[in-house]
Amino acid sequence: MPTLADLQARLGYRFRDARLLRIALTHPSTAHEKGAPTEHNQRLEFLGDAVIQLILTRELYERFPADEEGPLTKARARLVNRRSLAQLGRALELGAQLILSHGEATHGGRERTSALADAFEALVGALFLDGGYETVRTFVLREFAGLLQDLTLPLSLDNPKGELQELLQAGSPDAPHYSVISVSGPDHDRVFECVVQHGGRELARGIGKNKKAAESDAAQKALLKLRAAQDAQGAALTPE
């Protein structure tokens, strides 16, 4: 098993307070196993998420001075989601370092996308507290360098399938799944009907003159439904 010293060597940073690093690697499942209050990484995850957002928002703002808020927001969502964060966590071999309950370890917790993404965010939070903003900024930009290099703006604002995938994968590693459920009409005037699903749940159905158009229509309808639900939830949480 790699040690904390091995991890710090990969990070290129030695913690002054090693306790912060240990907390960042402690999964919440441990709190239910030991029967006593155990400090785990959820609070550091909360902090790290905000730090990552700030650093990458500033980087995008400076890299793409000609782009407006919409494309920049989409670019940030493409960079920061559960899948990309878990990917970065795997590259650092955080799974081997995670402190898990016996049950979580037995059931594949070290490779779980959510656990790796949360640990990466918690690690960023710990770096921020231990080393300060410039230290963590250097780390985040180094880890996201490949993703930033692949990013080109302006992003398409007329890409409902891409937008739906980004929206869904901001909170889940699973991609939406499209399937054709019917084809009707004469050969010269076909009508395709497509359904888009996520996590085994149907989001919407769309129609079009070909499979691609039907998938795009389904994605657009799913986006409208999801955004309406988000708006309704936000309105319910806003005090009068």
In whole angstroms, give the CA distance from residue 27 to residue 24: 8
- Any catalytic annotation for residue 121? yes
> Which position among 45, 121, 166, 217 bears the catalytic label?
121
The mean per-residue pLDDT over the stretch 38-60 comes to 95
pLDDT at 237: 45
HSE toward the beta carbon, residue 235, CA cutoff 13 A: 6
**Which of 145, 194, 198 is closest to 169 using CA atoms?**
198
In whole angstroms, give the CA distance from residue 108 to residue 165: 25
How many folded domains does the chain comprise? Answer: 2
In whole angstroms, give the CA distance from residue 128 to residue 139: 10
Under the banding of pLDDT at 50, 70 and 90, the label for residue 157 is low
pLDDT at 36: 57
Q: Are residues 53 and 125 in the same domain?
A: yes
pLDDT at 130: 97
- Any catalytic annotation for residue 150? no
> Which position among 45, 49, 215, 217 bears the catalytic label?
49
Q: Are residues 119 and 197 in the same domain?
A: no
Residues 6 or more apart whose CB falls under 8 angstroms from that of 238 comprise: none
pTM for the whole structure: 0.68
Q: Quote the percentage of the chain above a pLDDT of 90.
A: 53
Q: Are residues 68 and 172 in the same domain?
A: no
Domain that holds residue 200: 160-237
Q: Are residues 169 and 52 in the same domain?
A: no
